[in-house]
A and B are shown apart, each in its own frame.
Chain A
Amino acid sequence: MQGDVMEVPHVINDEYVADPVRRVHDYLLEKRDQGAHLVGLYCGYAPVELIRAMDGVPVSLCSSSRRTIPAAEAVLPANLCPMIKSSFGFIRTNGCLLYELSEAVIGETTCDGKKKMFEMIAHIKPTHIMDLPQLPDDGEVLLRWTGMVRKLKNFLETVFQVEITDDRLEDEIRETNKKNSLMDRFFDYAACHPVPVHWRELYDVIGLDPVTDSDELQRHMEGITSRLDKRVDRGIFFGYHDSPRVLVSGCPIGGDAAKVLQIIEEAGGVIVALEACSGMKGYSIRIEEGTGDPLTAVAEATLKIPCSCMTPNGRRLDMLDELIVRFKPDVVIDVVLHACHAYNMESYKIMNHVKAHHGLPILKIETDYSDGDVEQIRTRVEALFDSL
C-alpha cells in the first residue's frame, strides 16, 4: 500500500466490513423471516433469475473449507476436487448453515465429480439436477438447455407452490443486467495503473451481489466509487508502480484456496483480474431484454459462461483476450484445483494461447485446500516474478 495515509478505509464502509459472512447470514435470515424461500446452488449455470422471480433467494452453498474434507473422504475418494469434497463434507457434518436454511438445491451435470456427489445428497432435500449440454456451439444446444431451464421452473413451481410469470422473470433479467453493469463498471478500478482496489475488496464487493437488489447495489456503489475516486485523487494504491500485474484464471477460488491470492500478494504481485466464477466471469454477460421469451433469454445467457466443462470452450479464450486488453496483466496464473480434469486439461490450451497471442508468461498452479504446498507455491510465484 502506497500513498500518504497508513489506514485506508475499506471500500465498503459499513458495519459488516470486518465480517462479510455475517452480512450473508443476516440477509438470509431476514429474508427467511419475511417468508422468502431459500434455494441452494453450487454453480453459475443455475439461472438465479428464476429463483428471484418467485421472490426466492439463491444461496451459494459452502464449498471452500478444508475443515470438512476428512469427513467427506469417509465416503468420497481422496483423489477428487477439494471443492466437491468440501461441499459434501459440509453436508455430512451439518456444517453449512446455508444448506440447512435452503429448502431446495439445484445441481448441474457440470463435471463428473459434482454429478456423482449430487447423487449422495439428493435424498436430503428436494434436489433438482439440470442436464447441462456440453457442446455450446451445437445448433440445437439452446433448445435443449431451454428445455432444462423450463424443467427447473416446473420444479420450483411444484416444490414451492408458486407461479413464475414471464413478467416477473423479465423484471429479474433487467435486475441482473443492471447489477452486472454496476459490477462491471466497478471492475474498471482494477484496470487502473497503479491499482487502487485490493483483491479482497474485489471479492467483498462481488459478495454484495447475492445480498442486494439493483437499487441497493447502486447505493453501495456510490459510496464505493467515491472512496475509490478519493484514493485515486490522493495517489493511494496497492503495490508499487512496477509491481507485476496478475490475472488469475481457472477454477473458482475462495476460502482456503485464497491462499494462492495471498501468496501472489506477498510475493509482490498485485491481482488485477479474477477470471473465475468466484470472480469476474459472470458479470460481462448480459441477458437479452424484451424478447417476449424470457426463459430462452435466460438459457441463452447462462450458456455463454465459458466454463471448462464445455467443449470446445473457445469462449474462454475470447474472454481472456478481453480481460488481458482491459486489465493489462504482466503475467497470467492459472489455478487448477486438484483433480479437476477439465480445467487441468484446458490449461494446456490456455498456456499456449496466452504465450502465443499475448506474449505473456503463464504459471499453472495445481493446488487444494490444505496449506502443505504454500511454500512450494511461493517459490514458484517468486521465481515467476523474478523472471519478469
Chain B
Amino acid sequence: MPFNVADVEPIINDEFVGEPNKRALQYIQTKRSEGMPVAGIYCGYAPMEVIRAVGAVPAILCAFANKTIAAAEAVLPANLCPLIKSSYGFIATDTCPFFALSDAIVAETTCDGKKKMFELISHYKPMFVMDLPQLPDEKEAEANWAAMITKLKGFMEETFGNSGSPARIEEEIKATNEKNRLMNRFFDYAAKKPPVLKWSEAYELALLAQIAYTRDLHPIFEKVFKQLEEREMKGVCYGTGSSPRVLVTGCPVGGDSAKVYKIIEEAGGVIVAMDACTGMKPFLSEIEEDTGDPIAAVARRYLQLPCSCMTPNMRRLNELDKMIARFRPDVVVEVVLHACHSYNIEAYKIMNHAKNKHSLPYLKIETDYSDGDVEQIRTRVEALFDSL
C-alpha cells in the first residue's frame, strides 16, 4: 500500500531512512562520547524521567530478531516468547550494540519469562530489577512503585556516579509531557481519513522519541510537521479512502515481527493506530507537573500503562475506547507473541470488547519471529478484509 503519489519524502530524511535502530545507535553513541552513561532498558515501565534526571541516556536493548533465537534455545525453553529468547540470544552471542554500550541495565518483573531471563544475564552488567506491582488499582501500589523508583535512582546514582535531584526529575517530567504532546500532534496525521502518515514512519519516530531527550528532537519535529503540512496541502495520503483502517493492538511489534504490519499493508489495509509499547502507548498520557513529589508523579503515570501484566487491566479497554474514537479503525488486529500468556489470555477480553462495544471485527494473530507463518497470516488477514 503506497502513498497516492510517487516520491514522497521520508518523514525523517537522513542517512538512516528505514533503519531506525541505526539512527538510535548513532544518537546513543554521540551521547556516550559526550560522557553520558547509558542505561539499557527492555520495557516501557523503565522510568525514563529518572534515567534522564541522573544524566543518563536510555537505550532500548535488542529484542526483535529471529537470528539470535537459536543461540538462546541452547539455554532457554523453545516454548517461550520470541522477544525474550531474542533478547537473551543477543547477549549470549554478544551481538547487541546497545547492550555493549550500556553501563547498567534496568529491568522489571513484568512477566515470568523476562523475570527469569534477567537472572541469567545479571552477571554481565550492573543490573537493577524492579519489583513491579501487578494490581495497579490498589491504593498501596503507587507508594510501592515509587519506592522502587527511588531505589532505582539510588542504584543509578551509585553506578553512574551522578546524582538526580527532584528538580531535575521535575524538568524531565515537563520535557516528557512536551514530547508526548508533539508525538500526539504527529499521530493525529495517522488519524486523518485517509491517513497522511505511514505506519513505518510512526514506528521510526516513536523509536527515536522514546530514547532521545526532547530538546534533541525539536529540529526533527520541526521538519516532520512542515512535511506533513505540505503533504496535506498537496493531497498526499497513505492508501485510499476505502482502504480498511486497522488498529493493531497487543504485544510489542518490531524487527522480524513487523512482518505482520507488512502483511496487513500488502493485503490492502492501512495501519492507523499501533496500540503497543513499540508504537503509541508510551506517549499517550502525561505526567502530573509541579506536584512537589516528582517521583510519586512518575510512579503514578507508569502504573497507568495498560500492559497485560497488570490485573485487572481495565485501563487497556478504556485506552482502546479512546483510540478507536480517535483513529476510527474498521478492524482490530491483535498481535500476540507466541507463549506470551498475559496478552494471550487477555485477548479474550479484548475480542469481546471490540466486538460487543464497538461492533468491530477482530482478528487475533499469534506469531513469532520466524517467517514460517507469513502466508498463513496473509490468508487470514485477506479473509478479514474480504469480509468487511
The interface of chain A, by Cβ under 8 A from chain B, is 75-77, 79-80, 109, 111-113, 115-120, 122, 129, 131-135, 138, 140-141, 144, 147, 151, 308-309, 311-312, 338-339, 341-342, 344-346, 348-349, 366
B316 CB, nearest partner CB in chain A, Å = 12
A62 CB, nearest partner CB in chain B, Å = 19
B319 CB, nearest partner CB in chain A, Å = 17
User: Could you tell me if B115 and A134 are in contact, using CB atoms closer than 8 angstroms?
Assistant: yes
User: Could you tell me if B309 and A112 are in contact, using CB atoms closer than 8 angstroms?
Assistant: yes
Q: Looking at the complex, which one of A80, A122, A151 makes contact with B341 (CB distance below 8 Å)? A: A80
Known: A311-B115, A342-B116. A134 touches B339 (CB 8 A): no
**In the complex, chain B residues whose CB is within 8 Å of the CB of A312:** 119, 122
Q: Select the residue from A112, A308, A311 with max chain B CB neighbours within 10 A.
A: A112
User: Could you tell me if A140 and B147 are in contact, using CB atoms closer than 8 angstroms?
Assistant: yes
A129 CB, nearest partner CB in chain B, Å = 6
The interface of chain B, by Cβ under 8 A from chain A, is 75-77, 79-80, 109, 111-113, 115-120, 122, 129, 131-135, 138, 140-141, 144, 147, 308-309, 311-312, 338-339, 341-342, 344-346, 348-349, 366
**In the complex, chain B residues whose CB is within 8 Å of the CB of A77:** 341, 344-345, 366
- Bound-state CA distance A132–B135 (Å) is 10
User: Could you tell me if A79 and B339 are in contact, using CB atoms closer than 8 angstroms?
Assistant: yes
Shortest Cβ-Cβ A-B pairs, 5 listed: A116-B345, A345-B116, A112-B341, A341-B112, A109-B134
- Bound-state CA distance A119–B79 (Å) is 24
User: Could you tell me if B349 and A119 are in contact, using CB atoms closer than 8 angstroms?
Assistant: yes
Known: A79-B344, A109-B311. A131 touches B116 (CB 8 A): no
User: Could you tell me if B77 and A79 are in contact, using CB atoms closer than 8 angstroms?
Assistant: no
Q: Looking at the complex, which one of A79, A140, A141 makes contact with B79 (CB distance below 8 Å)? A: A79
A89 CB, nearest partner CB in chain B, Å = 14
Q: Select the residue from A77, A118, A346 with max chain B CB neighbours within 10 A.
A: A77
User: Could you tell me if A309 and B119 are in contact, using CB atoms closer than 8 angstroms?
Assistant: no
B351 CB, nearest partner CB in chain A, Å = 10
Known: A131-B134, A144-B144. A341 touches B339 (CB 8 A): yes
- Bound-state CA distance A129–B135 (Å) is 8
Name the CB-closest residue of B to A347.
B77
Known: A131-B135, A131-B141. A116 touches B341 (CB 8 A): yes
Q: Looking at the complex, which one of B79, B116, B344 makes contact with A311 (CB distance below 8 Å)? A: B116
Known: A131-B133, A140-B147. A349 touches B311 (CB 8 A): no
Known: A109-B311, A131-B141, A141-B131. A79 touches B338 (CB 8 A): yes
Name the CB-closest residue of B to A340.
B112
- Bound-state CA distance A131–B145 (Å) is 12
